[in-house]
Amino acid sequence: MIWTDYFTLIKVLPGRIVTPRFGTLDFSDPSLSVEKLKALFEDDFPYLQITPLGMEALYPVPPLAKLPSKRMETLTPARRIVKRKA
C-alpha cells in the first residue's frame, strides 16, 4: 500500500522528518506504514493532510438508514381581528 494515495505532505518537502510519536521517519519512502501515518494524522501532525481517497478508505461513513418521512406542517395561528374604535 502506497501511503501517498492516502496522505500528502504540506509545508515541507519529502525527506526525513522527526515526529513526536515515532522518531525520525523518511517521507520519501513509498513503503511507509499507512497505520503510522494515520496515527500521526489523528495526533494532529502539522505536515500531513488526508486525501479524499484516504478519507473514504480510512474513515468510511456508514450509509444512513432510511427513516420514515414525517412531514411537519407549520401552521400559523389564526389572528383575531381587532376592531378599532373610530
Three cell numbers written together for 72: 411537519
Domain that holds residue 36: 3-58
In a domain, 78, yes or no: no
Q: What is the pLDDT of residue 78?
A: 73
Q: For residues 1 and 50, which has the higher predicted lDDT (pLDDT)?
A: 50
In a domain, 24, yes or no: yes
Backbone φ and ψ for 37, nearest 5 degrees, come out as -70, -35
User: Strand pairing of 16-19 and 23-26?
Assistant: antiparallel
pLDDT above 80 (res 73): no
pLDDT 10s digits, 12-70 = 999 999 998 999 999 999 999 999 999 999 999 999 999 999 999 999 887 776 666 66
Q: How confident is the model at residue 86 (pLDDT cuts 50, 70, 90)?
A: low
In a domain, 65, yes or no: no
SS3 50: strand
In a domain, 47, yes or no: yes
CA–CA separation, 32 and 41 (whole Å): 14
CA–CA separation, 37 and 86 (whole Å): 80
What is the model's pTM? 0.68
In a domain, 10, yes or no: yes
How many degrees, rounded to 5, is the angle at CA 61 between CA 58 and CA 67?
A: 170
Number of separate domains in the chain: 1
